[in-house]
Structure 1
């Protein structure tokens, strides 16, 4: 609801009187504080996450380093054992059982080499000699995996506990004389001392623990030695699977980031764990130290940004105040349009100043032109008053003319109604004619289609007749060829018959020769009998000739029978061939008669086809004439429709003109009434022009 009035405008009584400068400073300050808090929070969160990740990576490197150190210790033990076992004088010492040599060797090694325990063992694993801090003489080390493998001929290392000795790194090397294992040297580092743990703590700044299986043997974490590993997941992954474990766990109430690595013998058996860890308290301490450094710096930066923002907003509001002051002077002074705002900086506010000055220039120009147009406007008002009076008289004449035109339009409307009735009757007659033409066209189309179908059938029959004629010609040719070939066959059969008679004669001659040969053989046999012993050979030949004669006679008889059969069959073939020749003659005659009938049918079909073509031409001519009549009828119908449409349009136009004239008459009356009101308005406009001129004169241009 509007309250007090300020500068002739209502002001909301609930409106808060807060400067924009105060609002901007508060908003910018809040943004800076919020951004600083968010930036610090995100930075610390990321730093904390990165610090944990860096600690985990450092632990992995530390675990790798610890395993390398452990391997270096094993390599040192290996070197000590190998040097001792491979000495050239060790074999003589064993052969002569020179104990002084071994005692001197042990004392020398104790002073020079780096190890915790050493010993010589016999083939049963019994210590024969040990250092002053080493394994005791007579101690049985056969339970050690490394000792057993060395006595079998191969060097070995292991991580294990021996009776009476703590968890240690052990290396054993075989001593051979003439290729036979006679002893083994054993060197060991104790992992239950603080040497290895202190080295890890100093080198990597981590906590370190040595496990024998899952029991803590030695640790830099107070109060955990002798306790067991309570996490079954770690035991499964490290002691069973032989894999490293990385993660967080709690030991004695403190949180650690830790890495567990398996300790393996050279055969892969896992006997212990190397534990490397970093307390999360150290990570938190680094985080708190970072907060103590980052927060004051962020606070100082936020205060500095807020101060700079205050100076910038103050300068910005001062520039806006200059524009406001100029507007206020223009609103409360003498309306001096010649004043302008000074441009100091070319930016968004500078654009505002430029556009404001341009607006003042435009307003000054408009007011100047308005002053010049004031007199012209006054003259125009007087002219408008005179024109109003003339308009009133003209409107009176227009009203009388409109009434005369309206009477003529009523007369024209009656004539148009009569014309429309006549056109409708013509249109009905044309529609009836169109239907008759459609029926005639349909009948002609059906007849034309039937004739075309008949022509198609005639063409099909002609094609069939032509094919039949061609087939009969080919058949006639084949029959003639067959008749000729049959004559050739008959001639050849006659030749065969003649040749078979010649064979019969030859066979008769052969039979006669066989009978004569038989007689000669009989005569020869008789003569041989007369000759006695001298004719025995000739008798054998005569007998063979007789047999050959009998065989020839039998074969001649068989051949004669076969020739008689062949002759009978040839006679049958000759009779059949003659019958076939007569049949070929009859077929050829019938084919010629049929061919003549086909040619007659073909000629009749051609005559019928020509008649059908003439009928089709006549029907086509009739159909074209029908189409022309129908087209003329359609054109007439379309023309009649156009005439009918034009008449209807004329009726509609007449009605519209009549309505328009009524409206014009009514409007003219209203215009006449308005003319009087316009005269009053003209006098009011003249008064208003006078008042506007008075107000415009107040502006200084």
Structure 2
């Protein structure tokens, strides 16, 4: 019955162990490869998407802050100009203020125009003309005392599209007296974002409060005042993008979103630009973002195919090495069972694997059967114990190999994480290198500004020394003037005394003239009496009458001269009195001049002391600027070294990225090899269990022999 079952089983088509091993291992490798490809693709896609979201949001916030700082810097410059005395003085004409602004505009090369606007909204141009811009909303806002920044608008001066910044101007009493209107070309903002790189296919643009494009690499969109939100009302193809832009404009916080435009899908972030109400949008195509996943899938498929082929070959070789000695054993046992039963026939026992041990122990068993059934029984017991130990060892080996496989998977996960970290670190180092380059440029600018400031301070110190020298000379002249004033004062006092004496003496002269007139009157009276007596004397008195007549004439002339002298002396007295009064006034003026000279000398001393302090302070400032210049040179050199070092670090990070990729590939191969080894050991362990069972059957069969 047993022989018929054996013959029946032999007539059936045998599906050999070799084919089973090849089929099973190939199926397992293929299934694991597909699962691994799908799982890794999903994990990597999720990780890339998260990294992209964080990167775009950080990029949006950084760019918004950069543009806000530039606008704030320009606004601070305009506020500083608005606080200058020339602008605060209400007596300065609007034309003069515009002329002053043209001089200040030299310090800001970005400015296209810089004009003054009065409280009525009249803009004064450098050419002398005026424009009424009172209808501009940003002018009204600035006139109300608030800084205002406009979106790009067509200039009424014919200078194209410009962005305006309006700063209120106040007088010393804090009254609004006008607005400083600055205009920069709208293309300046587009040039800033034109230098911003977001991957290879991404870009960046800025929208105003209502969605109008105010900065874009394609400047024609700015010139045409492109507005996707309005365009979406008639064009459904831009509706996704318009919806996202609308949500971003209405949100105060950065957001992320997806939209389709011009046949490509984009991922974009947004951030508000402070103090403007504008929104910046960095974006990137999802094709570029996930292109690495497609490449990874292809690579994993190729690696899986190669692993499948290698596994199939290894499985075939392993199965061949296992089934070959088994087939030889089958042929020999078939010869023993179906042939002459020659127990001298032995099985080949080459090698140290389990099949060779089986052949070796089988040969020993046959030999002992030939010698003695007892020896066969003892040997079977020993063989049973060995089989149990072998089974235990194989179980331990299988557990060890499984643990190795788990450790390899853990190392693989860490290697993948390391590769991702290396990539992120490389990106961060690239950003740091760009930041260092920007810092280096700013330090060069600062160095130039410090040098110019040092030159200006040196010139100021020289001017202070010159003014100090002039003040020293003025002090000498004022001292001489004070000395001369004292002399003039003394001389004026003496002159006043002399004029008083002359006035007194002139009174004596008037008295003398009165005496002379009285004498003349008496003489004239005597002459008249003499003439009367001469007339009484007759001819004898004619000679005496002639003398009397001459005396009378002389008396009349003396009286006339006395009157004339009296008149002259009165006039002289009046003039002397007037001169005396003027001399008193002159004396008072000399005293006032002396007092004023003393005050001027005191003020000159105060100014000289202040200029000496200014000289000392200017010297200290000049020394500080010299120290700052030296430190700036050292910082500039350090920045150059940092920029060189960052470039070298970036190169090394690129090498490290390549090494990480090689490590990832190697770990994939190790994982596949560990799986192969684990499966092979499981198969060998199964064979060992089968061998153990066969030995137990053998012991049972040996026990059936009758020893005696």
Q: TM-score, normalised by structure 1?
A: 0.43
Greater C-alpha Rg? 1
Q: TM-score, normalised by structure 2?
A: 0.43
